[in-house]
């Protein structure tokens, strides 16, 4: 898991958004497969949920960093 987190940390906000969308779609498809085909490897659900949480956490930290940078810029009067 740590290897995937390191890979995610190097990505930009746009890339993380794309990754989040793709991961959410993969989770949706896997849920559908479970209902239709009785998917046996249920550990993949947890892995995808953890990856989604990691991506959302990184996106939020980037958002907070940008807000902090914006507040530190002195405004001219």
**Tell me: the pLDDT tens digits for 1-23?**
466 778 888 888 899 999 999 99
Q: Is the pTM of this model over 0.85?
A: no
Q: Does residue 64 sit within a domain? A: yes
Reduced to 3 states, what is the DSSP secondary structure of residue 73?
Answer: coil
Residue 75 lies in a domain: no
In whole angstroms, give the CA distance from residue 76 to residue 36.
Answer: 62
Residues of the chain with pLDDT under 70: 1-3, 39, 73, 75-77
| Residue corresponding to tokens 């507040």 | 71
State the residue range of the domain holding 50. Answer: 13-70
Closest CA relative to residue 21, chosen from 55, 50, 46, 62: 55
Count of domains in the chain? 1
């Amino acid at each position: 898991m740590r290897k995937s987190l390191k890979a995610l940390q190097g990505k930009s906000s746009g890339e993380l958004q794309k990754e989040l969308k793709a991961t959410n779609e993969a989770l949706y498809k896997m849920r559908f497969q479970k209902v239709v085909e009785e998917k046996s490897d249920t550990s993949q659900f947890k892995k995808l949920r953890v990856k989604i949480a990691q991506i959302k956490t990184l996106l939020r930290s980037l958002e907070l960093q940008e807000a902090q940078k914006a507040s530190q810029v002195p405004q001219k009067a």
